[in-house]
Amino acid sequence: MSNSDRRISLVTGANKGIGLEVARQLGKAGHRVLLGARDETRGREAAKTLQAEGVDVRVVAIDLTDPGSLAAAAADIGAHEGRLDVLVNNAAIALQNDGLPGTVDLHVVRQIFETNFFGTVAVTQALLPLLKKSTSGRIVNVSSGLGSITFNNDPDWDYAAVKLLGYNGSKAALNMFTVLLAAELKDHGIKVNAADPGYTATDLNGHSGHQTIPEGAAEAIRLALLPDDGPTGGFFNSDGAEPW
């Protein structure tokens, strides 16, 4: 595959955890990988690991809460790559002081939304002109079952006790963004979907999840590699479609 034919993928928050595994697997699928990292030093360390495995990767410094960083990243990708084929919006935060809607500190909720929702919208907007240059663009928003209003309203759901206004709410908003963006881009050849990794052992949850990182990354990878007849505007885990 020539450099001009190789798919170009950006994964945010890719210096560790699920993001790093998504970057690894997209690289092994033949993509040129742009490893998005807020901390450029940690990004370079992660890139060295992937390069040792034969992945074509370079670091792009990107902070979802810094408009200047997003503009610089878009300019960098435009200048060096010319387009973007795949955007995996993986970067997200969870805060210990998140909690029930009646008592949670609104400053904590705003912090979480600033990265998980507003930051994801902002980075997508910044990179959309480059995605529109692709003949078959893909946007994958890494969401969570905790963002499902249906699940949150089911007292028998396995995670029904997890009522975190900041995290759950930000992922529910991300799901709405997915649906609306998919509708907006349906005539541009860009597919937009949300992936639920499942309860995966990462830094985000203190490694308490029961799934391995490769298991948690699998659905985001599948959606990033969707064929042209694949779905758009959906919410999926490894077992199939999830309720909103």
Q: Which positions are catalytic?
A: 167
Nearest of 70, 232, 216, 52 to residue 137 by alpha carbon: 232
Which single residue is written with the structure tokens 């949850």? 205
How would you classify residue 230: left for phi > 0, otherwise alpha for psi between -120 and 50, otherwise beta?
beta
In DSSP terms, 115 is beta-bridged to none
Q: Are 90 and 18 in contact (CB under 8 A)?
A: yes
Report CA torsion sign: 101, 179, 193, 57: negative
Supply 43's token pair: 């990004």
Which single residue is written with the structure tokens 């597919």? 191
How many H-runs (helices) and E-runs (strands) does the chain carry?
A: 8, 8
